[in-house]
Amino acid sequence: MSGVPTKVLFVCMGNICRSPAAECFFTNALEKEGKGESFLVDSAGTGGWHAGANPDSRMRAAAKNEGIEITGSARQVTTSDFETFDFVFCMDKDNFTELLAMGANPAKTHLFLPFVGYGQSSEVPDPYYGGEDGFQDVVILIRDAATKLALKLCA
């Protein structure tokens, strides 16, 4: 791999639950592979109403149960992200459709779970309006998919 890092962006609706979790689990998986310095990883939301906010406390607690600290602050995706990032991974079809409508490159924009070949599910469910169990389930799903993605992109 050349000295230029591969740039990966994870996108959900508000950038406080799923996409920051994916960013942190993917970064952790890259570090386990010894490839952390070969990637630039970020996350964003299609909506901007949480801009500057910390990740959701319920998501942080669920990730902590899996040994990962979710850090960062929410930001809204920008059209310049479509040029900056080599891969843009959407957590669900609504965000995928929204990004394409904003002008995202369809060759670089993917649904996260299908890209890594994750089972029958094509979307990471949004746990925001649900209970604690939903957050734990989503964290495990993201952890497993992020590990598969790291292995795929590092191969």
Which residues are catalytic, by number? Answer: 12, 18, 126
> How deeply is 17 buried, as exposed, middle or buried, from its count of CB atoms within 10 A (0-12, 13-18, 19+)?
buried
Starting at the earlier edge strand, list the strands of the sheet with 39-45: 39-45, 6-12, 87-90, 109-111
Inter-CA distances, 17 with 32, 34, 129, 140, 154, Å: 23, 26, 11, 13, 25
Q: Contact 26/10 with Cβ under 8 angstroms? A: yes
Rounded distance between C-alpha atoms, residue 99 and residue 106, angstroms: 9
